[in-house]
Structure 1
Amino acid sequence: MKLADYLKNESIKLDEATIQKLESFSELLHEWNQIHNLTGAKTIAKIYENIIDSLYPLTFIKIPKSLLDVGTGAGFPGLILGIALPQTEIVLAEPLKKRVSFLKYACIDLGLDNVKVEGKRVEQVKHEPFEMISSRAVTDTKFLLELTKHISDAHTSYLFYKGSRVFDEVEAVQHQLSYDIVQKNQRNYLYIKADQ
């Protein structure tokens, strides 16, 4: 099955060129992963699942002009969002060197002019406040908000890809936030909205 077949069952609408880029990314990651062990997604089918997981929030978020992805790893969700949102300036913060090498190579190979890779921890990223900050499986919500204080403001929204602990995590911060939790399969997408 191709990625297009997987996408048919989703409410995610992408054009042919974008789907082709995501296919190319899948092949590239599969190839690199066999040598460098970048992600637990060892098969093309598993990579597709991670791509769909990364893209699903496009069905409910307000598309940002700038996005920072904290701890991008092998590209989920930041690089995938970079492919799907060519008009959005995307910065990927990833401290691990082998992952940084892969992300930089993938950006060049796929012609992603809107994506910049920062090979450093998020605390060291210098940038004006982002419109959105995303993260998947990196630390808890309260700490993530703390780590990104210097690159966010009242107009920044957050998209955190979480598991079942999200409900405990939001209890610690809910008094100061307006948020939704969107559930799909085993995933909880925590969408913290910016002040309007």
Structure 2
Amino acid sequence: MITNESEAQAWLAARPEYDATARERIETLIAMLVEENKVQNLVSAASLDQVWQRHIVDSAQLLAHVPRETSGVWLDLGTGAGFPGLAVAALRPDLEVVMVESRARRIDWLDRARIAMGLDRAQVVGSRLELVESRDVSVVSARAFAPLDKLLALSARFSTSETIWVLPKGRSAQQELDDLRKWRHMFHVEQSLTDPQAGIIVGTLTDGKDRTR
């Protein structure tokens, strides 16, 4: 379990995706986040004292559940302050990271941060999720976006039987999975590395487009 900023940075430094260029991108993101948070409430002010643990590594740990050979599109729903979308894109610039966000000020922030970090393959879709055109993606992530059943109802159309879902869910992870009905899936809960009370729902929806039973 990661309990402080030093441990968070050490964990990240050991990741194969983390090199000098990735570190520069992450440091740019943190500096911009601190300044932007004075203008709009992107994250809680108190969490900035633990930004590596609470936001950077909390996002980056999702990569541990996605095979390194995964290519294609990583779809991040309700990206908000940029987590996990911007953090993932900083570490995996080879992926097309698509961040969906409907709030105008957050859209502007995400675009400015993406450009400053040199993330040429990342893009921001400024729209409500319901209006985003369907496409098959390789990975779906969502941090505090919606309850699991609603999230699947809104976004299963982006998924094939090979799409990997990585969904940070806090302390509600196991309960949301236990309560899930009418979906064929191979989901399970992984322990978060950054919060002893938090879980991450990981897995796939089975049978491709034929998902309900």
TM-score normalized with structure 2 length:
0.82
Residue 81 in structure 1 maps to residue 88 in structure 2 = yes
Secondary structure of 1:12's counterpart equals coil
Q: Is the 8 A contact 1:89 1:115 kept in 2?
A: yes
- Aligned AA (1:16): A
Q: How do 1:2-151 residues align onto structure 2 when only pairs under 5 Å count? A: 6-9=8-11, 12-13=15-16, 14-42=18-46, 44-49=48-53, 50-63=55-68, 64=70, 65-151=72-158
Q: Which residue of 1 aligns with 2:189?
A: 181
- Aligned AA (1:189): I
- Aligned AA (1:20): E
Q: Is the 8 A contact 2:174 2:199 kept in 1?
A: no
Q: CA deviation at 1:159?
A: 0.8
Q: Which residue of 2 aligns with 1:192?
A: 203
Structure 2 runs not aligned, ≥5 long: 208-213
TM-score normalized with structure 1 length:
0.89
Measured in 1, the distance between the counterparts of 2:6 and 2:118 equals 21
Q: Is the 8 A contact 2:172 2:198 kept in 1?
A: no
Comparing 89-98 with 13-22, greater Cα deviation is found at 13-22
Q: Over aligned residue pairs, what C-alpha RMSD do you find? A: 2.2
| Identical positions, percent | 27
Which of structure 1's runs of 4+ aligned residues deviate more than 6 A? none
Measured in 1, the distance between the counterparts of 2:56 and 2:75 equals 17
Q: CA deviation at 1:43?
A: 5.7
Q: How many residues align?
A: 194
Secondary structure of 2:38's counterpart equals helix
Cα 1:24–1:4 shift into 2, 3 Å: farther
Q: Which residue of 1 aligns with 2:210?
A: none
Residue 163 in structure 1 maps to residue 170 in structure 2 = yes
